[in-house]
Amino acid sequence: MVEQHGSHQLLAASQVGRTLQLPLAIMPLIRQTPDARQMRGWRMRGLPLVLAGLSDAFLVVLNGALLWPPLWQLGFGG
């Protein structure tokens, strides 16, 4: 299969872009878990809540770092 110029970078950027969807969707769920009214007996507090927020933020930053070089090569960087 002959690859078009730039299609590999575009494919990589699209896959990394798709991996951003899950951590971004989880953010509102993490923010709602400490609410006793919504979560009742399943509410999350303390260290597990902090670790969940930090790991989700880490995934967003890591995926953003992976997304930046392909976008820069395609001319979206400025």
Out of 2-11, 14-23, 37-46, 68-77, give the one with best mean pLDDT.
37-46
Of 5, 8, 15, 6, give the one whose Cα is nearest residue 67.
15
> Is residue 20 a contact partner of residue 61, using CB atoms and an 8 Å limit?
no
The pLDDT value recorded for residue 4 is 62
For residue 53, pLDDT over 90 is answered with yes
Q: Which amino acid is at 17?
A: G
Residue environment code for 18-44, b if the CB has 16+ CB neighbours within 10 A, otherwise e: eebeebeebeeebeebeeeeeeeeeeb
For the chain, the average pLDDT equals: 81
Is the whole-model pTM more than 0.75? no
> Is residue 71 a contact partner of residue 13, using CB atoms and an 8 Å limit?
yes
